[in-house]
Amino acid sequence: MSENRLTITDERTGKQYQVQIQDGTIRANDLRQIKVSADDFGLMTYDPAYLNTASCRSSITYIDGDKGILRYRGYPIEQLAGTCTFLEVAYLLLNGELPNQEQLAAWETRVLRHTMLHETSKKFLENFRYDAHPMTMLISTLAAMSTVYPESKNIHDATNRQKQTIRLIAKMPTLSAYCYRHRLGLPYIYPDRDLSFTENFMNMMWRFMEPKYVANPILARALDVLFILHADHEQNCSTSTMRSVGSSQADPYLSMGAATAALSGPLHGGANEEVLRMLDHIGSKEAIPAFIKTVKDGHGKLMGFGHRVYKNFDPRAQIIKKTADEVFTVTGYNPKIEIARELERIALEDEYFIKRRLYPNVDFYSGIIYEAMGFRPDLFTVLFAIPRVVGWLAQWEEMVTDPEQKISRPRQIYTGYDERQFVPMEKRS
Ligand code: CMC
């Protein structure tokens, strides 16, 4: 009869150990009993970049990378992106259940009521250079907002956590739009509560002299879909940063500043900006084979390709491709999509990419849509961050309330010197 146990024989000592298997994992700490002598520290696992280590139990997002499945709280991403609004999905991620009509209306009102930035937060932005990268402004200002809401340090109070959660979700589009307008020297536009979450963001980005901003419904819907696709993605680099920094009981503004910094890197959320720059660099369909060759020769990566978890296809990329066609009916065709499609076609037939199971990820097509909508490439990663705030906060809440979680603190394999005698200055060569 099969038992949920693993029997390990230590060939160094001949001793046998049994460790429990639960949910397809063993507890790394159970290996510590495996020793060669009484003063031995015990066996550890070595897993740089966490290729095969679960750091938490989570009921928020499910991914099956081989089958290309992504679900939030059990609901397939295709169904959510096809029918819901972003705030509806945000409610689901944070509360575990879809809201009914009344709950959704109350939630929307609550979020939109908090979209205004404190005037001092606006001043933080004004001190950046005129050409500061919006993502860097966002990271720093998020952390600085901790000074505006000092009560956020009380992370043990559920009501207080909820208040900060709403504030962060609501203020993120305002902050992002202000980072953009600062760069262009444009006056900041205050939020408009009559508009939906995404329409209001477009209003703060693009309104000029008109008394009331009217968003194009197809573009507003496309942005909603893109926000839904980016809302959470289980234990990725920025989410584990949010959990890791949050585990020290730092307040959510500081933890989120750190998570946003992790997102900004070109291997993570920063990839969408890099994809656009890469397409510009390639320039034409004819130049693609030569570019692919440079990638295969080890000179840079095909940005927007590959994923740690998805090894067949990224379901988000497939939805984004469809959304692109809808956006183009309004904005006109972005010719870069031709280069992107040809790049994808050639790469997917190439042995290098097939062997390594590299497919387009969420960032491959998103930039092309964002550019067609009028966003500049340096804002693309900010557009990733706005919805990901929801995922970070849902995961942070789960971490704070999980009795098994403690301060995050990995082990190491020490590879330095053994003890050495100190050398006085006059004797150093
Ligand atoms: N172009 C060319 N080669 C690649 C690429 C790529 N985009 N991605 C991976 N490889 C190669 C890599 O060099 C390695 O080759 P080899 O076995 O010969 O050494 C092999 O494929 C395995 O890659 P890896 O680096 O071990 O895979 P990883 O799981 O550590 O990295 C990744 C995942 C997403 C960081 C990586 O695929 C990558 O750098 N992609 C480009 C950046 C990108 O698009 N990032 C966005 C990720 S999706 C959005 C998000 O959630 O962040």
Domain ranges of the chain: 1-45, 62-400
Ligand 1 centroid to Cα of residue 356, in Å, is 9
* Interior angle at CA 42, CA 37 and CA 46, nearest 5: 140
The fold adopted by the segment(s) 62-400 is Citrate Synthase; domain 1 (1.10.580)
Ligand 1 centroid to Cα of residue 312, in Å, is 14
H runs (alpha helix) in 74-230? 77-83, 86-95, 101-113, 119-126, 134-144, 158-184, 197-206, 217-230
Q: Is 362 in the pocket of ligand 1 (CB under 6 A)?
A: yes
Q: String of b and e for 155-173 (b: at least 16 CB within 10 Å)? A: beeeebbeebbbbbbbbbb
175: its two tokens: 């902050």
Please indicate whether residue 268 is annotated as part of the active site. yes
Q: Is the dihedral of CA 103, 106, 108, 110 positive or negative?
A: negative
Q: Is 246 in the pocket of ligand 1 (CB under 6 A)?
A: no
Q: Is 295 in the pocket of ligand 1 (CB under 6 A)?
A: yes
Torsions phi, psi for 359 (to 5 deg):
-130, 165
Q: Is 306 in the pocket of ligand 1 (CB under 6 A)?
A: yes
Catalytic residue among 233, 307, 314, 378: 307
307, 344, 355, 363: residue to mutate for ligand 1 pocket, most atoms within 8 A of CB: 307
272, 278, 305, 364: residue to mutate for ligand 1 pocket, most atoms within 8 A of CB: 305
Number of Cα atoms under 13 Å in the Cβ half of residue 411 = 11
CA-proximal residue: ligand 1, atom 36 (nearest): 306
Please indicate whether residue 131 is annotated as part of the active site. no
User: Of the candidates 63, 425, 361, which has an alpha carbon nearest to the alpha carbon of residue 233?
Assistant: 63
Within 8 A by CB and 6+ apart from 194, the residues are: none
User: Of the candidates 326, 320, 370, which has an alpha carbon nearest to the alpha carbon of residue 341?
Assistant: 320
64 secondary structure, DSSP code: E
Q: Is 307 in the pocket of ligand 1 (CB under 6 A)?
A: yes
Ligand 1 centroid to Cα of residue 309, in Å, is 10
Ligand 1 centroid to Cα of residue 6, in Å, is 33
Return the SS3 of 9.
Answer: strand
Cα–Cα separations (whole angstroms), residue 362 to 153, 359, 368, 414: 34, 10, 11, 37
Please indicate whether residue 232 is annotated as part of the active site. no
Q: String of b and e for 359-374 (b: at least 16 CB within 10 Å)? A: bbbbbbbbbbbbbbbe
| Rama region for 132: left / alpha / beta (φ>0; ψ in -120 to 50; rest) | beta
Q: Is 357 in the pocket of ligand 1 (CB under 6 A)?
A: no
Torsions phi, psi for 55 (to 5 deg):
-105, -5
277, 361, 395: residue to mutate for ligand 1 pocket, most atoms within 8 A of CB: 361
Ligand 1 centroid to Cα of residue 46, in Å, is 21
pLDDT of the chain, 429 residues: tens digit per residue? 578 999 999 999 999 999 999 999 999 999 999 999 999 999 999 999 999 999 999 999 999 999 999 999 999 999 999 999 999 999 999 999 999 999 999 999 999 999 999 999 988 999 999 999 999 999 999 999 999 999 999 999 999 999 999 999 999 999 999 999 999 999 999 999 999 999 999 999 999 999 999 999 999 999 999 999 999 999 999 999 999 999 999 999 999 999 999 999 999 999 999 999 999 999 999 999 999 999 999 999 999 999 999 998 899 998 998 899 999 999 998 889 999 999 999 999 999 999 999 999 999 999 999 999 999 999 999 999 999 999 999 999 999 999 999 999 999 999 999 999 999 999 999
22 secondary structure, DSSP code: B
The distance from CA 326 to its chain's CA centroid, rounded to whole angstroms, is 25
pTM metric for this prediction? 0.96
